[in-house]
Amino acid sequence: MSNHPPSHSGARDLRVARDVRDARAMVGQVLTHQAFAKLLGYSLVDAADLAVTLALPLRPALLQQHAVHGGAITSLADAASTLAVLTRLWPDFWATTVEQSVQFLRPVAATEGQLLAFAHVRRFGKTISFVEATVTHDGREIATARSTQMRQNLPARPSSAPPAQRP
């Protein structure tokens, strides 16, 4: 089964904002096919054109010693940032992170509740987009991130190979 729906026969005008309902549906669809999203456990809270909010439920497995691991926080911010760009690009293109800078503002020692990452595209370009994200816990800002996202063509889908022949 392919992780990508068939591309539109006529490409969308990427300068045109995507409808909120379409953005939410698109992000939900992409998340259902991402093994890493399932592994970490983040989920869609909301989406609009060029903006996404994701939630990450806290649990002991995310702790490094007594605080939530910075990698979990960084991954959440990165996923929200990439998905914010994809609200405009998907299903015709993909986006990859070229660079990301994360500033950790305070530790989170909780193993219950959730982290929220809100990402919005500051500049949507033909190839490169700039995104800012904020990660919060219990309404308090715990990290900020800035990233550069690059538009990518979708990888070619492998053609069906003929079945192996037995001697």
Q: Which residues pair with 125 in a beta bridge?
A: none
| Spatial separation of the C-alpha atoms in residues 98 and 163, rounded to whole Å | 39
| The pLDDT of residue 4 | 43
| Spatial separation of the C-alpha atoms in residues 86 and 78, rounded to whole Å | 12
CATH topology of domain 20-153: Thiol Ester Dehydrase; Chain A (3.10.129)
| The pLDDT of residue 156 | 74
Tens-place pLDDT, residues 67-95: 999 999 999 999 999 999 999 999 899 99
Using alpha carbons only, give the angle 139, 142, 148 rounded to the nearest 5 degrees.
Answer: 115
* pLDDT value at 2 more than 80: no
**Whats the size of the chain, residue-wise?**
167
Phi, psi of 78 (to 5 degrees): -65, -45
Tens-place pLDDT, residues 113-129: 999 999 999 999 999 99
| Spatial separation of the C-alpha atoms in residues 96 and 36, rounded to whole Å | 15
| The pLDDT of residue 166 | 39
Tell me the CA distances in angstroms from 17 to 1, 21, 23, 90, 144, one per residue in order. Answer: 30, 12, 9, 12, 25
Average pLDDT, the chain: 89
Per-domain residue ranges of the chain:
20-153
Single-letter amino acid, residue 71: G
* pLDDT value at 135 more than 70: yes
